[in-house]
Structure 1
Amino acid sequence: MARKNTDPIQFKVEETIGVLSTSANGWQKELNLVSWNDAPPKFDIRSWSPDHTKMGKGITLTNEEMAALKETIQQAGL
């Protein structure tokens, strides 16, 4: 069933992989595995409030996209 625009987005942080940075107000940019609307978890990079009740804009990546990102970073020598 498709989600209506008025339905709240459901999410569950399945695993915190790492904190990339912390801002002065306590928000943290994190790499996590997140399940959105009960779907299988995806890699997710975004900022989160200290209690994980609010979030900023971010990006989600499938396993294949994460593998491609890793390879691209390695090839760039970063």
Structure 2
Amino acid sequence: MANIKFEIIEKIGTVSEGAKGWKKELNLISWNEREPKYDLRDWDEANEKMGKGVTLTKEELIRLKEILNGLDLA
């Protein structure tokens, strides 16, 4: 498997933390030296190992926010 280069540009927030210390985080990340995108996935404590996640452009994140704002979660 090829090495994937990444740089966490901005740590936006932690959504949850698992029993083994892994955290589900929303970050702004540059993958393989490309334009940064918003990324939601699990990370180990040192941000060296990662789980599967989803990467979104700014436009996709805005649309997701609109969808979430429309939910009745009460």
Who is 1:72 aligned against?
67
Shift, 1:7, TM fit? 3.0
Give the SS at the match of 1:70.
Answer: helix
Shift, 1:77, TM fit? 3.7
Query: 53, 62, 77: which one pairs with 2:57?
Result: 62
| Percentage of identical aligned residues | 49
TM-score, length of structure 2 as denominator length: 0.93
Shift, 1:76, TM fit? 1.7
Who is 1:48 aligned against?
43
Aligned length: 73
What CA distance in whole angstroms lies between the structure 1 residues aligned with 2:23 and 2:60?
Answer: 23
Give the SS at the match of 1:52.
Answer: coil
Rg larger in 1 or in 2?
1
Q: CA offsets, 1:35-78, max 9 Å, x none?
A: 00000110000000000110000000000100000001112245
What CA distance in whole angstroms lies between the structure 2 residues aligned with 1:73 and 1:27?
Answer: 25
The answer as to 2:17 corresponding to 1:18 is: no
Structure 1, unpaired ranges of 5+: 1-5
Task: Look up the equivalent residue of 2:51 and give its one-letter code.
Answer: G
Give the SS at the match of 1:56.
Answer: strand
TM-score, length of structure 1 as denominator length: 0.88
